[in-house]
Structure 1
């Protein structure tokens, strides 16, 4: 049994839980090494305190599960089977008294809960997600190696995007070029919908790219990342096409200083909240406090947003192996916005910045 499954099984034993039913793709992947998007079909991993785990997946994915390295019991089902019935039959063979079950409460739908309860009436149902978040929050060396590679590909995406900028090019033109070049490097999937925004649209932190053409004097903001071997990267850079005005330069330099201060605050033992506070203080002192409208970043790994939660009030101490983004921004309507984002890793002595595309203001 791998270390992840062993640690989770030990927790089940400590909590006197009969078994855990894990149904989200990210957590099944984390524990089993098998990545599957089953769409409407059931994907499940049953983990026990003292028994070997069992993976449940559509029959058409059984061979892929084996190929991924899964070496324990496997229940494959066809579209005419009832997977809950197959699971119930498996558990009957184990003859376990089902008294307490751990599930992912934010993922288990009401419909699935009703199906589950039909076959497994239980006295107590507890949430497994907090334990899984804690386990996933500290990255292993193998995970860190993948995250470094994913960050390098994110750097490339920004580089391609900046090289593509030209007057009259639209936001979607540039996105198409970025994703085309990354696919040629073997990237199958982006971490999220690639964002290229220009002009006043950069003042929307989650703006929607479209057919807006690039014009001289515009901010151009890139926010993108790739999925590599199941792990995400995330980078943001902002440049100016043409000659920036004094306000644009002041906004950019404030964000850059804030981001560097937050990186400097990222060290083992420091509270998560101090990272946000370090960036926010600089932005507030420059008079742009109301225009920094989100937390300083988010945890990063199998999912684009995971623990730790990088908000200003989080007292959790930073630990070696945590990976998260640092992405302060200033967004001023009618002028535009600037965000600078890097992926960082907490080390024994400080922080390693995984994304390293230059952060000095680039004027094209």
Structure 2
């Protein structure tokens, strides 16, 4: 069972840094360690492990049955009701502990201070570096989950593109993608649909803007399969691309190819960013490439390794990341392409097979 192994590995690595136990909150790290997480809303939950005790997962009562089913074989699951709240139970668990407790850097300050107040003999330290070290290189099961997420995502995107036509709004395209994704078995689909001048704003949420013939449309979509992400972007035109649209598209496409061809085992992450940026800069458009070239994929849609200048982390087998250069001309248009790459021994594999053409008609052939 992956959860048993990963939790044991975390505790072993933590002890090597003088940490006696760990407290993990719901989210990506809990998902990675337990293959399970909960939505907290206003009700806290946490995993407490180490100190020579059986790992304990504290959850609201309404999540108890699900938690027992998921992790009951190797974790003690304890719950609390709304009438009592979590803090008396938390005090029972931590008040007698002494030593060093490792916590995540994103732990809310109010939660941290409450636990600190109930555990006077504990010291606290951040263990993000250990968690990242564990998560950054995926095992075969994680890679399989990414591959299936990628397969579902590409099919959902193709189905959505076949439904795309002038007169639809960006939000209608978004809803179409969500419907197609869920019908294909996806979890947590998300997308950006940016047409015409909206595409010059890379993180603009889909609007009520109508999509017109001959506009460039950036379609950036992501989803998970069993907790693991795929994230793909295509730029397409309804109708005949203009010379400017085609020129910019070709530059971005070549920049992406340059970065992918640079990738390989032990290559620094920043080398890929430099390769993509060099191509775009040579065309006199460097100032319009306004973000990093990529990011890691796993239980989070953005995680290590970040493909950016200054990141000298060598690529290692099992790393999964995006390569997504772009050009954004304010008030006019944007172009971006995004593929997903897996590092294997002495090489890389591109899991994205979705056609890479600007014309929608050619994409759907």
TM tier, smaller: over 0.9
Contact 1:157 1:224 (8 Å CA) reproduced:
no
Gaps of 5+ in 1: none
- CA deviations 1:114-170 (Å, max 9, x no partner) are 211210124632101111111111111111111001011111222123212212111
Contact 1:236 1:341 (8 Å CA) reproduced:
yes
2:46 aligned residue (44, 47, 53) = 44
Q: Distance in 1 between matches of 2:351 and 2:266?
A: 20
Using the TM superposition, name which of 29-38 and 281-290 deviates more. Answer: 29-38
1:196 maps onto 2:176 in alignment = no
1:66–1:80 CA distance, 2 compared to 1 (3 A) = same
1:90 aligned residue (77, 90, 93) = 93
1:79–1:300 CA distance, 2 compared to 1 (3 A) = same
1:263 aligned residue (255, 260, 280) = 260
Contact 2:239 2:359 (8 Å CA) reproduced:
no
Contact 2:198 2:333 (8 Å CA) reproduced:
yes
Matched with 1:210 is 207
Deviation for aligned residue 1:198: 0.9
Using the TM superposition, name which of 46-55 and 127-136 deviates more. Answer: 46-55
**Does the residue aligned with 1:68 lie in a helix, a strand or coil?**
helix
Contact 2:249 2:335 (8 Å CA) reproduced:
yes
- CA deviations 1:8-59 (Å, max 9, x no partner) are 0102221222311111321112112222112111110112154331111112
1:11 maps onto 2:10 in alignment = no
How many pairs align? 358
**Does the residue aligned with 1:356 lie in a helix, a strand or coil?**
coil
Q: TM-score, normalised by structure 1?
A: 0.94
Contact 1:203 1:335 (8 Å CA) reproduced:
yes
Matched with 1:132 is 131
- CA deviations 1:309-329 (Å, max 9, x no partner) are 221110110000001111000
Deviation for aligned residue 1:84: 3.3
Q: TM-score, normalised by structure 2?
A: 0.93
| RMSD of Structure 2 on Structure 1 (CA) | 1.6
- CA deviations 1:268-308 (Å, max 9, x no partner) are 10001001111111000011100000000111111111111
Q: Distance in 1 between matches of 2:231 and 2:263?
A: 18
Contact 1:297 1:311 (8 Å CA) reproduced:
yes
Q: Distance in 2 between matches of 1:288 and 1:133?
A: 34
1:165 maps onto 2:164 in alignment = yes
Matched with 2:112 is 113
1:77 maps onto 2:76 in alignment = no
Q: Distance in 2 between matches of 1:34 and 1:123?
A: 27
